[in-house]
Amino acid sequence: MSQSIFEQVKKLIAEIQQFSITDQATAEQFRTQYIGSKNVIKPIFSLIGQVPADRKKEFGQLVNQAKQTAEEKWAAYSDNLNSDAGSSAFHQDMTMPVMGKPGTKHPITIVLDQIVSIFEKIGFEVAEDMEIEDDWNNFTALNTPEDHPARDMQDTFYLKDFAGRLLRTHTSSVQSRFMSKHKPPIRILAPGKVYRNETISARSHCQFHQVEGLYIDKSVSMADLKQTLLYFAKEMFGSDTKIRLRPSYFPFTEPSAEMDIYWGLKDATDHRITKGTGWLEILGCGMVDPAVLSNCGINPNEYSGFAFGMGIERQAMLLYKIPDIRYYFENDLRFLNQF
């Protein structure tokens, strides 16, 4: 009997030595089995009663050896983890197990991809450009007057070390960059990040995403704009979606409009987000101002066009019922894993 207890402890020691801790799950398994308060070594000590008196000391030493082996192995693993975290700039725990799916798309990416594929079907091409902009492309070329409030330090992040450079406040800057380099016909979609000096809250953030659309050709009309936007709204929000264009003002379009979609009044949230009207604003748009075409080297007597710009966060919030814009940028896995 006692012989087999000795054998069992020896086997246990070998088992501990051979145990390989490869990730967080196996580490946790090792900890509960050999280190934690309910470890398998502890109860073995009490078996000493069954051991003949002349071998009790030997037995005690053997069980202690098992305990020590486990503790040393655990200490080595923990040291390794800590030194990895401290010594490198890469602070990820690489032993974290992959939980089922190795990664998911961010909701902003999902909605952006969807918008891009809707417009690609009608011949729009993606044209991305820089986020650090100059005054010309972000404001002046787009007919934004010197004293326009958007240029204000309160709204725009200016980069101190790069004379006159700023973080683009809208993707409209891509309009000017693209038109200066390409001849019509132009049919582009410019998705990307934009920045504004806003107080961060549930509804606004200092960084967000927009998609810009630009279409320049001979005899492009307001009817083309409306039809394009109606097509988009139906593809994005469902085939019975209704739209309306409300007159508005943007420096770079004339006439300018804002587009609402009819969201409906199905529940209390709908009432709140549509302020009881059922209508929701989705984007700004208009016919490109002839002054903008001239600024970018396109003859306004020969060509005309339309442009539109829309926010992505807002649309993703509607489609996925996301209550707070800050969720997008916090990288909380409990949020991200839902997509």
CB of 110 to ligand DAH, least distance (A): 22
Eight-class DSSP state of 98: P
Residue 216 CA to its chain's centroid (Å): 32
- Token code pair at residue 266: 């199905």
Among 69, 138, 172, 176, binds ligand DAH (CB under 6 A): 172
- The candidate with the shortest Cα–Cα distance to 259, out of 279, 274, 281, 239, is 281
The yes or no reply on residue 151 touching ligand DAH (CB under 6 A) is no
Strand partners for 49: none
Alpha helices in the chain (DSSP H): 2-18, 24-30, 42-45, 56-87, 107-120, 135, 173-181, 222-237, 268-273, 290-295, 312-320, 327-330, 333-336
- Mention every residue, 6+ apart, whose C-beta is less than 8 A from residue 267: none
Phi and psi at 29, nearest 5°, equal -65, -45
Instruction: Pick the piece of the chain touching ligand DAH (CB under 6 A) from 27-35, 48-56, 271-279, 284-292.
Output: 284-292
Number of residues lying near ligand DAH (CB under 6 A): 11
The yes or no reply on residue 284 touching ligand DAH (CB under 6 A) is yes
Cis peptide upstream of residue 185 (ω within 30 degrees of 0)? yes
Among 245, 285, 296, 318, binds ligand DAH (CB under 6 A): 285
Eight-class DSSP state of 50: G
Q: Toward ligand DAH, which CB reaches closer, 285 or 293?
A: 285
CB of 114 to ligand DAH, least distance (A): 19
Instruction: Pick the piece of the chain touching ligand DAH (CB under 6 A) from 72-80, 120-128, 224-232, 302-310.
Output: 302-310
Site string for ligand DAH, 244-283 (x = CB under 6 A): ------x--x------------------------------
Within positions 208 to 237, which residues make up the interface with ligand DAH, using CB under 6 A?
212
Q: Toward ligand DAH, which CB reaches closer, 252 or 328?
A: 252
CB of 262 to ligand DAH, least distance (A): 20
* CB atoms closer than 10 angstroms to residue 111: 24
The answer to whether residues 12 and 66 touch, using CB atoms and an 8 Å cutoff, is: yes
Q: Toward ligand DAH, which CB reaches closer, 13 or 307?
A: 307
CB of 79 to ligand DAH, least distance (A): 52
Among 151, 168, 170, 187, binds ligand DAH (CB under 6 A): 170
- Token code pair at residue 279: 């209508």
The answer to whether residues 310 and 210 touch, using CB atoms and an 8 Å cutoff, is: yes
The yes or no reply on residue 328 touching ligand DAH (CB under 6 A) is no
Distance, CA of 195 to CA of 219 (rounded, Å)? 34
Residue 211 CA to its chain's centroid (Å): 15
Within positions 73 to 132, which residues make up the interface with ligand DAH, using CB under 6 A?
none
Strand partners for 210: 192, 311
CB of 291 to ligand DAH, least distance (A): 14
The yes or no reply on residue 309 touching ligand DAH (CB under 6 A) is yes
Instruction: Pick the piece of the chain touching ligand DAH (CB under 6 A) from 14-22, 158-166, 267-275, 306-314.
Output: 306-314
CB of 207 to ligand DAH, least distance (A): 13
CB of 170 to ligand DAH, least distance (A): 3
Strands 125-126 and 186-195: parallel
Instruction: Pick the piece of the chain touching ligand DAH (CB under 6 A) from 94-102, 158-166, 301-309, 317-325.
Output: 301-309
CA distances from 208 to 109, 125, 141 (A): 12, 22, 23
CB of 324 to ligand DAH, least distance (A): 21
Point out which residues bind ligand DAH (CB under 6 A): 170, 172, 212, 250, 253, 284-286, 307-309
